Amino acid sequence: MMITPVFLRMFPAMRVKITGLDPHQQYYIAMDIVPVDNKRYRYVYHSSKWMVAGNADSPVPPRVYIHPDSLASGDTWMRQVVSFDKLKLTNNELDDQGHIILHSMHKYQPRVHVIRKDFSSDLSPTKPVPSGDGVKTFNFPETVFTTVTAYQNQQITRLKIDRNPFAKGFRDSGRNRTGLEAIMETYAFWRPPVRTLTFEDFTTMQKQQGE
Amino acid sequence: MMITPVFLRMFPAMRVKITGLDPHQQYYIAMDIVPVDNKRYRYVYHSSKWMVAGNADSPVPPRVYIHPDSLASGDTWMRQVVSFDKLKLTNNELDDQGHIILHSMHKYQPRVHVIRKDFSSDLSPTKPVPSGDGVKTFNFPETVFTTVTAYQNQQITRLKIDRNPFAKGFRDSGRNRTGLEAIMETYAFWRPPVRTLTFEDFTTMQKQQGE
DNA sequence: TGTTTGACACCTAGGTGCTAACAT
DNA sequence: ATGTTAGCACCTAGGTGTCAAACA
C-alpha cells in the first residue's frame, strides 16, 4: 500500500521535536491516524484534484503505533528527534500484525500522542489511545493525506523515487537496465570461456577504443 | 571475530526459559561474559586440545548486554524463550558501541542475570551488573567457550556453516562457484548477443543432454 | 472503468566464512 | 611461526516502484 500526501509530509516520515516534558517522568509516545471526514475520494486528472466520490467505507478497527523507544524518560525523548518511519499501514481489515488499518481513497489525519506513564495502565496497539490529563494529542494539518493503491500523480512518484533510499533502483541512472545488463556491466571485460575470437569482437573493441 | 565453543552452545545462540518470577513485577534480563581463569590458551592440533599458553592479557572494560525486550513483566518473560542471538562481541578494547569486549584465545563463561526493576536504578551496557537481593545470576558451565579470530577446528567450521542461515553460501551445494558461475547458472540458456554458434556449443549441449 | 493484487527486479542493511596480506 | 585484519562473494531479511493480470 502506498500513501499520497496531499499537503506534503508523511514521506519522508513524520518527525517531531518535543519540549516541555518533565525530564524525570516516564512517557509513551504514540501515533494514530483518524479520518478527516466521512467521504471517499477519486482523483481527477484534468484538474489534478481529489474530488468527493461518495460516502466513506465502514469504519475499521482502531490501531495505535507505539513508538519503539517507549517507555522512556522525558529527558530521553526531548534529546532526540522522534521519527515515525517504522510505522506500517495496511488496507487489510483482518490484519493481526498490529499495523494501522486504513481504507484506500480516503483522507486521513495522523495524530501524535504523548502519554504519561503513571496515567496509562494498558497501552496496546489494538486499543484506542486513552484521553485525559496525562495525555497530550497533537494534530498537524499539513500532514493530512489521501490513501491510494496506485499512484495518481507522477510528481509524487518522482518525489518518492528521489528521496527514498529503497527506491534507488528506479532513479534515472539505474533505469532501463535489465538484471542481466546490470550484471554484464560489472563484468564489462569478461568473455565466455571456450569461445574463439570472432569478427564481432574486433569491431566492438575498436569502437570502444575510439570513444 | 568468531567464537569457538568448547563444550558446545553459544552457537546456536544461548537461549533460556525462565520460571518462578512474580508475574506482575518488572524485570531486566541481561548477560555478561566473565573470564574462567587467568590464562591464555593455544590450540594444539595433534591432540585437538586447548593448552595453557601463558597468563591472561590485561582486563578489559566490563560490558553488559541488556536483553532488548527489557523492561518487561515477569509474566511476559516467562511466556517466551529468551534468546541472546543479538549479543555482539568484539576484541576492540576501545569499542564505543556497547558491545561485549573479550580477549582472543581466552576462556570465558557467559552469565544470565535477572534483575528486579525496583532494585536497579541505573542499568547500563557500560556498568557492571549490580548484585544483591533483587538480582539472580545463573552460570551454565556447558556454555564455557574459547575465543578465536580464526577457526582452529574444522568441525566447528562445519557446524556453523550447517546451522547458521547467514553461512548458507558455504554449504556444499553452493561451494566452488565464483560469482559469475553462479550467475550464469541462473541464465543457463543465455548466450551473448552478436555471437555465432561454434563447435564448442554443440559438444557442450550434447554432454548436458547425456547426463 | 477504476482499482487492487501479486510476481518481479532492484535496492538497503547487515550477518557469514574465505583468503591474502599484514602484524607480532 | 602464529595470530589478526580487511576486502570479498555469498547469503538473510525486508523496503521500493513497475507491470500485467485480476477484480468489481
Nucleotides of C under 7 A from a protein CB: 2-5, 9-20
The Cα A202–Cα B10 span in angstroms is: 58
Looking up cell 569478427 gives: A199
List, as one string, the DSSP characters of A85-121.
TT--EE--TT--S-PEE--TT-EEEEEEEEEEGGG-S
Q: Is the CB of B105 under 7 A from strand D?
A: yes
Task: Report the protein residue whose CA lies nearest the C1' of nucleotide C16.
Answer: B167
Q: For residue B79, how many other CB atoms are within 10 A of its CB?
A: 11
| Partner A contacted by B195 (CB < 8 A) | yes
Instruction: Say whether residue B24 is in contact with chain A using an 8 A CB cutoff.
Output: no
Identify the pLDDT of residue A115.
95
CA–C1' nearest nucleotide, residue B158: C17
Task: Give the HSE-up count for residue B11: Cα atoms under 13 Å, Cβ half-sphere.
Answer: 22
Cβ-nearest to B187 among A180, A190, A195:
A180
* A193: pLDDT strictly greater than 60: no
Residue B198, pLDDT above cutoff 50? no
pLDDT at B197 over 50: no
Please judge whether A194 and B183 are an interchain contact, meaning their C-beta atoms are less than 8 angstroms apart.
no
Out of A40-44, A113-117, A118-122, A129-133, which region has the weakest mean confidence (pLDDT)? A118-122
* Residue B48 identity: S
B188 Cβ under 8 Å from any chain A Cβ: no
Report d(CA A162, CA A154) in Å as an integer.
12
Cell 566473565 belongs to which residue? B34
Q: Report the chain B residue with the minimal C-alpha distance to residue A187.
A: B180
Q: Which amino acid is at A109?
A: Q
Tell me how far apart the alpha carbons of residues B81 and B122 are, in angstroms, rounded to a whole number: 25
What is residue A11's predicted lDDT score, i.e. its pLDDT? 62
Instruction: Give the residue-averaged pLDDT of B127-152.
Output: 89
Of A183, A191, A200, the CB nearest to B183: A183
> What CA–CA distance (Å, rounded) separates B59 from A117?
40
Among residues B70, B146, B79, which one has the least CA distance to residue B112? Answer: B70
Q: Which residue of A has its CA nearest to B71?
A: A71
How many angstroms separate the CA of residue A194 from the nearest CA in chain B?
Answer: 7
Question: pLDDT per residue over A6-15, tens digit each?
Answer: 334 456 788 8
User: Contacts for B177-185 with beta carbons within 8 Å, 24 or more apart?
Assistant: B180/A187, B180/A190, B183/A183
- Predicted TM-score of the model (pTM): 0.76
